[in-house]
Each structure stands twice: as structure tokens, then as C-alpha cells.
Amino acid sequence: MVMFWVAVLAISMFLYLLLDGFDLGVGILFGLTRSENGRSTMLRAVAPFWDGNETWLVVSGVVLWSAFPVVYATVLSALYIPVIVMLAGLILRGVSFEYRNKTERLRWIWDICFAGGSLAASFMQGVMVGALVEGLQFTNGEYSGGALGWMTSFAMLCGLALCFGYALLGACWLVSKAEGQVRDEARRQIPFLATCVLAFLIVVFCHALLAHLPIMHRWIDRPYLLVFPAIGAVAAWLLARSILQHNDRWPFYMVILIFSSAFGTLAVSFWPYMVPFVITIESAAAPHSSLAFMFWGEGLFVFPLMLIYAVVGYRVFRGKVPPASGSQQDSGNARFAASGSPHPAE
């Protein structure tokens, strides 16, 4: 039961990283686009998916709360402010997504809120990961780092790195889903974003070495971890080739592989801890009776149904979205598409 719920938590977090990652990335790039037609096309590229993507964050939180309550209480106590800012950003971008289509005079405000909410949520997610990697301050098993104990230079660097990573993921998604100017602009942004991600990874790695972070010893003890960076390097090379060849499909697949290698590196580096190096998986798990009780509900029905729903949803809305032309009819269609419906109203 413990390993089953570890797997459910890992899959849920990984799916959230990829799925909400690309629409957060589109939100970040949204703030760099001045064309209203381009912004409408970008929203139409994520409209059927964005709210469903965020449900994986809810699943991760529920599994953490119910299956590993010690970690839930500890992490939220230490990272309360980043979590609140992240959730506020997600709420703000969700409201902005709907409200910007209800006004024209004040649309610029909601555009700023949409891009700002995406950036805030992305940055805080990276900060939280960086704080866990660097290690939180504990005394006798209790968090003792204070309200701002997570605010370190290493965590800030990780936050910036994830913002660029999500933007890269979003640009690759736009290449695969959009056409015309939006696709071409996204393709031009990919080399710069990929270079920034690589630069931040190098800086973060050097920072970890110079600071002698405990997690770096895991790399010495487990040299097989180098397999994951090797996979990421191959994916980066294939990403570069696909961009040079103007391929629309492969960039998104390659950046997924890059994120997968990074997630695998962290997961294996943490094992068998859930909060390095304080709380192990076994000590964090709820009683077996609780884990078994949840299995018959969420484990056996809810989680598989959500996976099926995601697969079906992405298959139904596969293919490219047409570019917005700026006409009144297209504007109405774009508003209807933003609601998640596959067909505009007559």
C-alpha cells in the first residue's frame, strides 16, 4: 500500500509538472505578445486543457494529505507563504482567463493578471523545489526555519530556472498546436529559452557544489544518476535538430523528455526520503488501514478515471487551432473556445 500511494503521488506530480507546466508557460509567453490576435490564438491553444491540468495539483495535495499526513503538515508549515502565493497566482490566472473576454476597455488589466499569475505560480513552484533540495531547517523533527526560511539564493535560482523551463515547454506546445505567426514566434523563442534553461541548470549545479549541499553526496553514492542527465542531453540535441528542421511535433516531445529526466533525477536523489533528509517514506505513511481504505475509492476508481479522462480529452482536442483573424466572428469563436467547448455557437 505504501509503495502504491508513492507511485500515485509521483505520477500525479509528474503529470501536473508537464500538463500545467505547458499552459503556465503559455501564460508567461502571453505577457510578451502584443498582438491581440496572437494572444487569442495562444488562449485557444490551451483553452480545452488548462482547468483539467490543474486537477492534478489537487490530486497531489489530497494524496499527500491523506496518505502522507506528516509530510503534508511539515511541508505546508515550512512553505506556507510560497504555497499561498502559488495558489493566488493560479486563481488569478483562472479568473483572468474568463474575464478578459467579457471586456475590451479593461482587457489589458486581465492580460497583465493572466501573465502575472502564471509567472508567480511558476516561480513559487521552483522556489519550493529548490528549498526542499537545499534542505529545510529542522530541530528534533520539527521545522525551525521560520516563516522565511525557504527564501535563499539557491531557491530563488531554482524559481527562475523553472520559469524559463515552463516557458520553453509552453513555446514547444504552441509550435505543436498553433499556426502562422504564433507558431513562428514560438519557434524563434525556443533557442533562447533553451539556452537560458541550460545556463540556469549549470549555475544551480555549481551553487550546489560550492555550498556542499547534502543532496550532492547522493550523486557520489549513486553514479547511475548520471543516466538521467545523459537522457536530457540527448533530448536537448534532438530538440535543436527538430527546430532546425522546422518540425512541429518533436519539440514538445523532446522537452517532455527533458522534464522527465529532471523529475527522475530528483525522485531518485530523494529516495527513500520525502523531505530530505528528515522524513522517510515509511515514517511519513499513514496507517495501513487508512491506505487500504483509500485504495477502494481514489486508488481503484478516481485516479484511473482521471487518467482516462485526460487521455480522451487530449485526443478529442488534438490537432492545431486556427489563427485568430480579428474579425467579429473569429472574436466570438475565440471567446467560445476559451470556455473549453469544441465548437462555436451559431
pLDDT tens, position by position, 99-137? 888 888 888 899 999 999 999 999 999 999 999 988 888
The pLDDT of residue 325 is 60
Give the side-chain half-sphere CA count within 13 A for 12. Answer: 24
Q: What is the pTM of this model?
A: 0.89
State how far the Cα of 298 lies from the Cα of 286, in Å rounded to an integer: 15
Mean pLDDT of the chain, nearest integer: 86
Distances (CA, A) of 295 to 70, 188, 291, 301: 19, 47, 6, 9
Residue with cell 499552459: 23
Size of the chain, expressed as the number of residues it contains = 346
Q: Which three-class secondary structure state does DSSP give residue 274?
A: strand
| Section 262-273 average pLDDT | 87
For 81, the grid coordinates are 507563504
Fold topology of 2-317: Formate dehydrogenase/DMSO reductase fold (1.20.1630)
Round to whole Å and give the CA distance between 89 and 266.
25
- Give residue 327's pLDDT: 41
| Burial class of residue 151 in the structure, from the number of CB atoms within 10 Å of its CB (0-12 exposed, 13-18 middle, 19+ buried) | middle
φ/ψ bin of 135: left (φ > 0), alpha (ψ from -120 to 50), beta (otherwise): left
Output the pLDDT for position 326: 52
pLDDT for 119 equals 95
Nearest CA to 172 out of 183, 160, 181 is that of: 183
Q: Round to whole Å and give the CA distance between 135 and 331.
A: 49
Distance of alpha carbon 24 from alpha carbon 217, whole angstroms:
33
Q: How much is the pLDDT for 340?
A: 45
- 280: β partners: 273
Cell, residue 314: 487530449
Task: Give the three cell numbers for residue 272.
Answer: 527513500
Is the separation of the CB atoms in 271 and 222 below 8 Å? no
- For residue 324, pLDDT over 90 is answered with no
Output 340 or 231, whichever has higher pLDDT.
231
CA-nearest of 327, 39, 344, 337 to 181 is 39
pLDDT tens digits, 212-266: 777 777 777 777 778 888 898 899 999 999 998 988 889 999 999 999 998 988 8
- Residue 341 confidence (pLDDT): 42
Close Cβ partners of 117 (under 8 Å, ≥ 6 residues apart): 27, 88, 89, 90, 91, 92, 93, 94, 96
Per-residue burial over 46-61, b = 16 or more CB atoms within 10 Å of its CB, e = otherwise: bbbbbebbbbbbebbb
| Per-residue pLDDT at 85 exceeds 80 | yes
For residue 249, the surrounding DSSP H or E stretch is none
Q: In whole angstroms, give the CA distance from residue 186 to residue 145.
A: 41
